[in-house]
Each structure stands twice: as structure tokens, then as C-alpha cells.
Amino acid sequence: MPQEQCAPGNSGNAGRPDSPGNSGNAGRPDSPGNSGNAGRPENPGKPDNPGRPGGDDAGAAECAFAPEGGRTDYDGGRDSLRAHSDDGIRIGNVAAGGGHFDDEGSTDPFFGEDGYQEHLAAEYSSITHENYLKWEFVHPEEGVYDFEAADAVVEFAQAHDMDVRGHALSWHSQNPDWLEEGDHSPEELRGILEDHVRTVVSRYAGCIQQWDVANEIFGDDADATIRDEENIWIRELGVEVLDDVFRWAHEEDPDALLFYNDYNVDGVNAKSDAYYDLVQGQLERGVPVHGFGAQTHLSMNYGFDETYQENLERFDALGLHTAVTEIDVRGDVGEDDRMNDEDRAGAAERFETVLQACLEVDNCNSFTIWGTLDAHSWVPGTFPGEGDATLHEGDYERKPTYCVIQRTLVEHQEGGDSWAEDAAFEECRGILEEAGV
């Protein structure tokens, strides 16, 4: 999830100001070279589960947080997103909490807001911990883990037949002070990192289908250089440690899909090239890298990179899964906290374009919206004057964007006539007609 994202600089679509190198979108603030497909090298560590993340093989680890009798079917109703979220594509959202929810007297939406969990279960088939699995929350003191919130999210997912994306095992941001300001030798840091990865992944073996193993490791400069100053692991242990974190995670849960995840990779550009080259080398060394995640934080103040699908396809051609991991589309808002009608229509079109791209790529099987209501979104607090980035507003009323996603999913699975004629989708047809979308 984006942590302090600043505004413009790219000629692409999103949000970081000082990122002159990317021609793609842009989105996250703090957070080299092959642009073609170099064949499809073997990926010896990749689980054989091209459909639903995690697979359902008999040999898969049993989730320790599953309800008695295992996961049960959960029906959100035909007029929902999860009704059209199948083994080919999981539609997700976040368990909102931590981070920007720090106003006096406020509670995290996941635990404290009436109707929030019911909404997630009704609409989505996948969930991501927004903050509860980041180091500052789950590993607040050296040698001390706090799994209470993270466990609750996994238990909720199991009870409502939802997949889980784990976010994130290593990152340069949201680390605890004891780690960033501690006086640890490289050998001690390596031990700390290995213990963290093994402890967290093994706890949720069989529960979490996809892990963001290494998050945002390249910068926003023109050459997309690796974060060898900001990222404590790379700075102190070298880039070679990336091989290790994937291997440790894979050893603890061989069935989980292991991803890189970043922003400003929404097209063929310097940063996505850097990932392509890195992953290609790791696959040749037999490192169990299984996926590439594009966060996709977009803005109506910037253009959209038309090479979005091409970029996913080249990672797919390497034998990787791909995922849209954190999508939202923000824009300038008025006093009513809404974009104007033109930008709202444009935002809906971008959601549709990205979803359609994912549906067209063989192993793009996870599409996660980053936030439910705008009140839960990180955007307004990070980009003053911008917002309207999610699918619902008010008391979970649907925006046109929601209905465009529903229409895209139904038409992909059942054909255009089904969505246009089925009475189940009457509400969304009315919303889109009124909005002129």
C-alpha cells in the first residue's frame, strides 16, 4: 500500500513528483533493461496452480485458522462482484486498519465500523491486510510478534471463503524503530530477517495464497536504481538477500505464490524493465519467484500507459503469475468529495481497461481494489484536494466504477446479453445510464 505518495512528475498517470524516468503511470511516492520476451525459462519453484492462487491439491498445507470442517461456500448474491469472481480471477479488497486511521477517537474500519466486514464478505472473494502484516505492526519489538489483528483477518477470510494476499514480508517503509535505528551487525540482521520470514509465513501456511515477498525495491529515478540506501536489507546485506527471502518463504509454504510488488510499473518502463531483468536472472538460478504485482495507483491528473497489458504479458511469458494488487483511481474533488462527471467517467474507464487487461492475460488471477469507502482510502490524507478513488461512497452506495467492473466481469464470463438483460443487474444498469457511462 502506498505510504506517503507525492504528486506529479511523470508524464504517465500517477502520483510521484520526482520520478522523471518513468513514462508510465506513477502512484506511490516512497516507495534495467530488457523490454522483450526472452523466451519462457523454467521456473522450478512455481507451484502448479495456474488457476486459483494457492491451489487445492491434497498435499497443500492445512490452514490452522480454518473453521471446523474447513472453509465453507459463501454466496454474496448474483448482484455482487464476488458472484463473478471465480478460479480465473479473484476480486479483492483490504482489511482497512493502521496507517492513516489515527485520528483521535477513531477505530480501524475492519474492527470498529458496523457493516464493514459484512460488505467485504458480500462483495469480494479475496482480502489483503492493509497494514496488519507490515513489520511495525506484526513485529513491534525485537523478538516479539503481535499476530492478534493479522490472525483475525485470516480467520474472517476462512469463515467467508475468501483468499488472502499477504502484504508484505520485506519493505523499506513502515519498519519499527528498533530495526531501523538498532545497532545490528549484518549477520544479526540476516538472522532477524530470516526469523521474521519463516515465523510469519509458517504461521499462515495454507491460509495465504499469495505473498508480497519483496515490496518496492526499485526507485523512481530515470534508471530505476535499486533502493540500496532506503532499504535496510539491501543496504546491509546486498541485493543477494532477495534470493534468500524468496527461498525462505517457499520452504515454509511451498504452495503459496511469491510475488514482487511495486507502483509505477503500469506499463513497459524503466522500473518494470528492472524487475523483468531481476526476475529473469533469479529464475535462471532456480529462485522460487512466482509472481509480479502491479499496484496500479492511478490519477486522472496524468495519462494512462497503453502498454499496461503488454507489460503483464511479458511477465506471464516468463512463467509468472501476475496480479493487480492495489488499484484505485483518484482525481481532483469538489466540496462534495467527488470528481467532476468527466473525471468520474474516465476513472471508471481506467478500472475497466486494467481489469480487461488482467482478464486477457492467462495467469493474471487477482484484482484487488485498495479501499472500500473513500473515507477508508489513503488518498485524501496523502493528496489534499484529491480523492473519489474507490468503488463505494456514503453508506456503501455504488459508484459508476463499481458497475463498470461488474459489467466487465459478467460480459467476460457470460457475454454482453446477460448483463444487459438480466434483472439481477438492473441497479447497475440504472446507475450507468444516469451517469452516462
Residues with a catalytic annotation lie at 216, 326
Distance CA 289, CA 134 (A): 20
Comparing CA positions, the residue from 257, 294, 303 lying closest to residue 275 is 294
Do the beta carbons of residue 232 and residue 173 sit within 8 Å? no
Do the beta carbons of residue 267 and residue 24 sit within 8 Å? yes
Q: What is the DSSP letter of 399?
A: P
If 0-12 CB within 10 Å is exposed, 13-18 middle and 19+ buried, where does residue 141 land?
A: exposed
Comparing CA positions, the residue from 409, 298, 288, 356 lying closest to residue 46 is 288
DSSP of 237-274:
H-TTHHHHHHHHHHHH-TTSEEEEEESS-SSSSHHHHH
Distance CA 214, CA 211 (A): 9
Other CB atoms within 10 Å distance of the CB of residue 50: 14
Distance CA 371, CA 6 (A): 19
Distance CA 364, CA 316 (A): 8
Distance CA 165, CA 425 (A): 29
Comparing CA positions, the residue from 51, 41, 115, 60 lying closest to residue 289 is 41
Q: Which amino acid is at 133?
A: L
DSSP of 91-160:
EEEEE--STT--STT---HHHHSTTHHHHHHHH-SEEEESSTTSHHHH--BTTB---HHHHHHHHHHHHT
- Report the alpha-carbon angle 387-302-433, nearest 5: 60
Q: Distance between the two ends of the chain, CA-based, in angstroms?
A: 29
